[in-house]
Structure 1
C-alpha cells in the first residue's frame, strides 16, 4: 500500500467545488481545506505507485478548478 499527501492549489472561488469532488474519489482517504500557500491537503491511498500516479494524473488533476498539485509520498 502506498500513501501520499497531495498539496493542492485551486482556482480562486473553486476551493469548495474541488473539495466536494475530491471527497467522491475512491483513493482519497481525507481532504482538508487549509490556509497558507496551498488550498487543500489530501491524503491518498493506493495499491501501488502506478495506481497512485493514475489517481493523481487522471483523477485529481482532471477536476475543474485544480491549478497545481505537489505530491509527497509517505516513506515511513
Structure 2
C-alpha cells in the first residue's frame, strides 16, 4: 500500500527536513512543493497501519515538521 503524505514545516525548515525525510526507509520519494504544504512524500508499507506508523514514528518526529496529512492511494477511478 502507498500513500502521499503532505507535510508542513516551520518557516525556513523545508531544506532541512527534506534530507532527513529521504533517509526514512519507507519513504520512496520526497519533493518540495509550493502551496499550503511544503513537502510531498510517497510512503510505501504493507498496510495502512504500517503507513500510520511511519508517519507518526519517523516523519512527525523530524525537527521542523509541524503538520502532516496522509492521503492513501486507491485503485478506484
- TM-score, length of structure 2 as denominator length: 0.94
Where does residue 23 of structure 1 map in the other structure?
Answer: 22
CA shift for structure 1 position 5: 0.2
Secondary structure at 1:16's aligned position in 2?
A: helix
* Equivalent-residue separation in structure 1 for 2:28 and 2:63 (angstroms): 20
The count of corresponding residues between Structure 1 and Structure 2 is 75
CA shift for structure 1 position 21: 0.3
* Equivalent-residue separation in structure 1 for 2:49 and 2:5 (angstroms): 16
Say what the alpha-carbon RMSD is for the aligned residues. 0.6
- Encode CA deviations 1:24-75: one digit per residue, 9 max, x unaligned: 0000001100101110000000011221111000010010000000110001
Mark the runs of 5 or more structure 1 residues left unpaired by the alignment. Answer: none
Where does residue 43 of structure 2 map in the other structure?
Answer: 44
- TM-score, length of structure 1 as denominator length: 0.95
